[in-house]
Amino acid sequence: MIIDKKTEDDGVIMMSIKSGEKETAPDKEKEASGKDHVTILAIESSCDETAAAVVRDGREVLSNIISSQIALHTVYGGVVPEIASRKHVEKVNYCVREALSQANLKLEDIDAIAVTYGPGLVGALLVGVSEAKALSFATGIPLVGVHHIEGHISANYIENKDLKPPFVCLVVSGGHSHLVVVKDYGEYEIIGQTRDDAAGEAFDKVARAIGLGYPGGPKIDKAAKEGNPDAISFPAAKIANAEYDFSFSGLKSAVLNYINIQRMQGDDFNKNDLAASFQKAVVDVLTEHAIRAVKEYGYDKLAIAGGVASNTALRQSLEKACKDNNISFYSPSPVLCTDNAAMIGAAGYYEYMKGVRADLTLNAVPNLPLGDRERRFHGRQSL
């Protein structure tokens, strides 16, 4: 992966991600015939990244532009929804134009426009949805609504050309912790999920408590590399009698209690050891549940998805556990684990091929459930 990064005057970081593989220029003649390739323009704005990408046949990324607002939210210790929406409005046209230009294509070369319409922050989602609808309305290009988590799962298709359903996917992001059986493209069965905080949320809250700041996940990942994961023993983030569910709020409270007790006793604590021990408790339970799910459901492939899937310790732990259990392990590059539009283009392609189309009533659905095909077909939702 080649990441071309530049910080703009307003603090936003613009990134263009290239695979590093030899790029094949799109064959415009073939595309004009509409037969050989399907080219999707994808838009993502569900949280604090404005992103646009051009993806061919679901797996080949022709361009991938991400405008990250992280620096703007860091001062507040978390994402401020109104700031996120306002920045999306400023950046979205630029991202779309840049994605088309880097793919060396024009809007008329595009077969469908895929956009994230949930779950996420409503004001943020509305920007991408409105942009996609306006483009579709003006050009007549079909519109496809994409579920953000289906996008994360589909990020696995981009660099693993051989990966096909069925497989088990561990989805761990800022808002979700799900164990999912991907039965077919766009067909999901949720077999386990968090009962309280999502894994990424736990990383963010613990990072804040130990003074590492925002965004918590990458900071804990980095601090843990300098710490001892066995220094402090924290409870496993499990639920009794629910073999695939998770609970991270008890673990988070245990970390907060540990900090308070240390402070009351006038003792200091080692941030790196605390980060490593907390991270180990999360990684252990995620690994154990995921491996057991693959074996008990009789599959031989495990994929990971979502921002927390970029965690170094989690990737290493799953890779080793898969090797020990003869399971093929798939993971997107870290930059494709966090929010981006290439993954929305990958998911959008399989939806498009199934005939899924949204009409111009498509709306943002902040709490859209995974695999809710009914809503996707009709486009219209009530909030």
Of residues 143 through 162, those in contact with ligand KG4 by CB under 6 A are 152
Beta bridge partners of 18: 2
Sites for ligand KG4 among residues 166-195 (CB under 6 A): 173-175
CB closer to Zn ion out of 173 and 247: 173
Q: Are 113 and 54 in contact (CB under 8 A)?
A: no
β partners of residue 39 = 56
Residue with smaller CB distance to ligand KG4, 203 or 248: 203
Residues of span 329-368 touching Zn ion by CB under 5 A: 339
Structure tokens at 362: 């498509």
Sequence-distant (≥ 6) Cβ neighbours of residue 61 within 8 angstroms: 17, 19, 53, 54, 55, 158, 342, 345
Q: At what angle do helices 122-139 and 81-102 cross, to 10 degrees?
A: 30
Told to check if 368 binds ligand KG4 by CB under 6 A, we report: no
Judged by CB under 5 A, does residue 44 bind Zn ion? no
- Of 216 and 345, the one with the shorter C-beta distance to ligand KG4 is 216
User: 26-55 mask for ligand KG4 (x: CB under 6 A)?
Assistant: ---------------------x--------
Q: Does 307 sit near ligand KG4 (CB under 6 A)? A: yes
The minimum distance between CB 148 and Zn ion, in angstroms, equals: 6
Nearest-angstrom CA–CA distance, 236 and 250: 9
Site for ligand KG4 in 213-252 (CB under 6 A): 215-218, 221
Strands 301-305 and 167-172: parallel
Q: How far is the CB of 310 from Zn ion (least distance, A)?
A: 11
* 238, β-bridge pairs: 246
Task: Give yes or no for a contact between 43 and 128, defined as CB atoms under 8 angstroms apart.
Answer: yes
Question: Which among 108, 3, 116, 149 is positioned nearest to 50, based on CA atoms?
Answer: 116
Closest contact distance (angstroms) between CB of 276 and ligand KG4 is 12
Tell the smallest beta-carbon distance from residue 97 to ligand KG4 (Å): 24
Question: Tokens 């990134």 label which residue?
Answer: 15
Rounded to a whole number of angstroms, the minimum distance from the CB of residue 146 to Zn ion is 12
Q: Is 173 in the site for Zn ion (CB under 5 A)?
A: yes
SS3 of residue 83 by DSSP: helix
Q: Which is nearer to ligand KG4, 306 or 379 (CB)?
A: 306
User: Least separation, in Å, of the C-beta of 292 and Zn ion?
Assistant: 25
If one asks whether residue 69 binds Zn ion (CB under 5 A), the answer comes out as no
Question: Is-contact 315 172, C-beta < 8 A?
Answer: no
Nearest to 344 by CA among 61, 89, 122: 61
76 contact partners, CB below 8 Å, separation of at least 6: 83, 214
For ligand KG4, which is the closer residue by CB, 26 or 119?
A: 119
**Contact of residue 175 among Zn ion, ligand KG4, none (CB under 5-8 Å per partner type):** ligand KG4
Residues near ligand KG4 (CB under 6 A): 47, 152, 173-175, 200, 203-204, 215-218, 221, 306-308, 310-311, 338-339
